[in-house]
Structure 1
Amino acid sequence: MEQDLPEQAGNTIAMLGRAYSLLGFQIVDGVVGAGFPQKPSHSAVFGQISREGNRLSELARGANMTPQAMGELVDELEELGYVERRPDPTDRRAKLIVLTPRGHECIAAGIATIQGIEERIDQVLGAKGHAELRRLLGKLLTTD
């Protein structure tokens, strides 16, 4: 029995996916426009790296990626001057991925871009609508 494919325009999952992609590209565009070249895939690192740094395996697990794929992203970010590998003070065999000063500046540009997007959402939905959107998304994300 052949099933009908869901209508993409009215499908909630498709709409959330499109919003995620659109907003992700807007963040990258803002950061690149501020003078910090990067790719959307780099958000897998920038979105979760801690101030103290992280092991590659932690970053990979947090992004639901293989360590090899995460290693490629870290290599690219290292070439761009955003991160560096340092010895882990708790384990001499391990390395920590840490932000460079340029990496911190890049994240600051990302935060400023996100704040601008949040303001745009306020303009489009109004403060109450934006708060309701956040409440509903929070509910979706915490439902088991």
Structure 2
Amino acid sequence: MLLAMSYRAMGDRFHERLAQVGLEPLRPAHGYVFRFLAEKRATAQDLATHLGVTKQAAAKIVNELVEWRYVLREPHPTDKRAQYVTLTTKGRDYLRFADGMWADLEGEMAEIIGPERLDALKNDLKRYLDHTGVHHLRPVW
């Protein structure tokens, strides 16, 4: 429970800072889409499966991100009904920005618990994730 509460606390602090910067009203679901698209382009169905939501819910998220110019749609080469979604330059810039904010939050944690303890915690968590086979960030609704 402490890990879940810590993740929530960091996520809340991240979104508070994001609101202060004055960007679009990005929500955690958007962040999961950014992370997924950082690795590859995807269809709305791919995103729905990854997020654990309906295709319609994924399409709504994609529509918002298209409107804010973080992603764009491209024709699917073999399925005329489907479209690929990819990050734009603005989307990739946002990911770098978000990574910097997460690094700042980790820095705050290092100040509180000490950098050696944070490194040990990160190593222990990596060992646990390797053991479980979980290697991608996915939402838990």
Q: TM-score, normalised to structure 2's length? A: 0.77
Q: Give the alignment partner of residue 7 of structure 2, picking from 7, 13, 20.
A: 20
CA contact (8 A) 1:51 1:99 kept: no
CA contact (8 A) 1:87 1:95 kept: yes
In structure 1, the gaps of 5 or more residues are 1-12
Choose 1 or 2 for highest CA Rg.
1
Q: How does 1:76-115 map to 2 (within 5 A)?
A: 76-89=64-77, 91-115=79-103
Shift of 1:52: 4.8
Shift of 1:43: 1.4
The count of aligned residue pairs is 131
Shift of 1:106: 1.6
Secondary structure in 1 matching 2:82: strand
Secondary structure in 2 matching 1:43: helix
Q: Distance in 2 between matches of 1:92 and 1:31?
A: 37
CA contact (8 A) 1:30 1:110 kept: no
Q: Identity over aligned residues, as a percent?
A: 26
Q: Distance in 2 between matches of 1:106 and 1:35?
A: 13
Q: Distance in 1 between matches of 2:93 and 2:15?
A: 14
In structure 2, the gaps of 5 or more residues are 133-141
Matched, 1:60 2:52: no
1:141 match: 129
Shift of 1:118: 1.9
Q: TM-score, normalised to structure 1's length? A: 0.76
Letter in 1 for 2:66: E
Shift of 1:41: 2.3
User: Per chain length, whose mean CA-contact separation is higher, i.e. which structure has more relative contact order (CA < 8 Å, sep 6+)?
Assistant: 2
The runs of at least 4 consecutive aligned structure 1 residues that moved more than 6 Å come to: none
Distance 1:31 1:66, change over 3 A: same
Distance 1:25 1:90, change over 3 A: farther
CA contact (8 A) 1:34 1:109 kept: no
Structure with more of its chain in helix, by fraction: 2
Letter in 2 for 1:31: L
Deviations 1:102-125 (CA, angstroms, capped at 9, x unpaired)? 222221210110111121122122
RMSD: 2.2
Secondary structure in 2 matching 1:65: coil
